[in-house]
Amino acid sequence: MRQRSRWIVTGVLAFLGLAAVVFFFDQREPSGPLLELAGDWDTGVSVATRLESAQSAVGEGRVSAALHMTLDPGWKTYWRVPGDSGLAPMFDWSGSKNVQTIELLWPTPRAFDELGERFYGYKGDVLWPLRITAQDPDQAVDLSLRLDFGVCSDVCIPTSIRSSLSIPPGEAGPTAHAEPIDVALTQVPVWTSDANLRGVVRLLNVKGYRAELEVALLEADPMPSTIVASGLKGVYLGASHPYEENSLMLPLEANDPEKLRGKPIYLLFLFEDGRPGIEGAFLIE
């Protein structure tokens, strides 16, 4: 009887040990490659784009994705404010299905000085992060994009590309694109309030239809190397240049520059070390 009891105890311990081993291996993260959920590459002149999802399914209805663009060496495309010339991209999502909202985030652009003009945009590999809300989380999200934009080398070429991607319903997990999209999110400009960047914008040197804007920053460290200005309809805003120790100057042209006092202007601050930009709205004094 005592021998039989020992067999029973030994059998129970062996079963518990096997169960513990099974539980341990069930808790390990999958060792295989992550799913790659992306559309096909759509190509144009010296450029290719596709849509990529950071998650394997729609989940609870909020989807993280990105538009991925690759440009051949020597070619560039433009930011939402292209600069002295160029074509700002236009994104048309009207063909998408089961989409309530799509928020496209712009990565920090670079400033290019070429042939006496300044441009703002991108070269090489670019990811625009997307924040998508599904109308019905239990249905697939079908993204359809028509992108009209310009690519430039020695000449500029208007280009139109279509991209699509279907994200299935179900429980969401990370894909192979999750990490690159997370990195792209760190390149999106932050707001002046979050960066504690303060300053004033003054209208100076008004002469007819021409004037200048001084952007004076308070305790900025480091100082931005470039300022991109926008938001004034019908006003030409030129390339910034250093003015005094803590300020930069931008030329402008308008029908009546004095009427710009008290109006809001949107500024993007760029830095030489390539850190994410800082953007915000200021009132012109």
Per-residue model confidence as pLDDT tens digits over 253-276:
999 999 999 999 999 999 999 899
Other Cβ atoms within 10 Å of 77 Cβ, number: 27
Residues 184, 197, single domain; the answer is: no
User: Cα Rg for the chain, rounded, in angstroms?
Assistant: 27
Over range 225-242, report the average pLDDT. 94
Do residues 115 and 134 both lie within one domain? yes
Residue 3 placed within a domain: no
Strands 99-104 and 125-134: antiparallel
Q: What residues have CB less than 8 Å from 150, skipping those under 6 apart?
A: 77, 78, 82, 86, 87, 156, 157, 158, 159
Question: Does the pLDDT of residue 24 top 80, yes or no?
Answer: no
Q: Is the dihedral of CA 148, 152, 157, 162 positive or negative?
A: negative
Which of 129, 163, 188 is the C-terminal boundary of a domain? 188
**Structure confidence at residue 155 (pLDDT):** 84
Between residues 63 and 12, the one the model is more confident about: 63
- Do 180 and 231 lie in one domain? The reply is no
| 159, 188, 217 - which closes a domain | 188
**pTM of the model as a whole:** 0.85
How do residues 97-109 score in pLDDT, each as one tens digit?
A: 999 999 999 999 9
SS3 content of the chain, % helix, strand, coil (to 5): 15, 50, 35
Of 188, 222, 249, which marks where a domain is finished?
188
User: What are the angstrom distances between the C-alpha of 209 and each of 164, 250, 251?
Assistant: 46, 14, 11
225 with 170, same domain: the answer is no
Judge if 123 and 245 occupy the same domain. Answer: no
- Beta-carbon count within 10 A of 275 CB: 15
Does 205 share its domain with 181? no
Tell me: do 81 and 204 sit in the same domain. Answer: no
Same domain (yes/no): 236, 136:
no
> 19 versus 164: which is more confidently predicted?
164
Q: For residue 116, give its domain range.
A: 42-188
Query: How many domains, in total, are found in the chain?
Result: 2
CATH, residue 133? 2.60.40.1230
Looking at the structure, do residues 147 and 233 belong to the same domain, yes or no? no
What is the distance of C-alpha 216 from the center of its chain? 27
Give ∠ CA 50-52-55 in degrees, rounded to 5.
170
Place of tokens 């305790």: 219
180 and 213, same domain (yes or no): no
Alpha carbon distance 8, 39 (integer Å): 58
Give CA–CA dist 173/170, Å, rounded: 10
Q: Which of 177, 66, 182, 189 is nearest to 129 (CA)?
A: 66
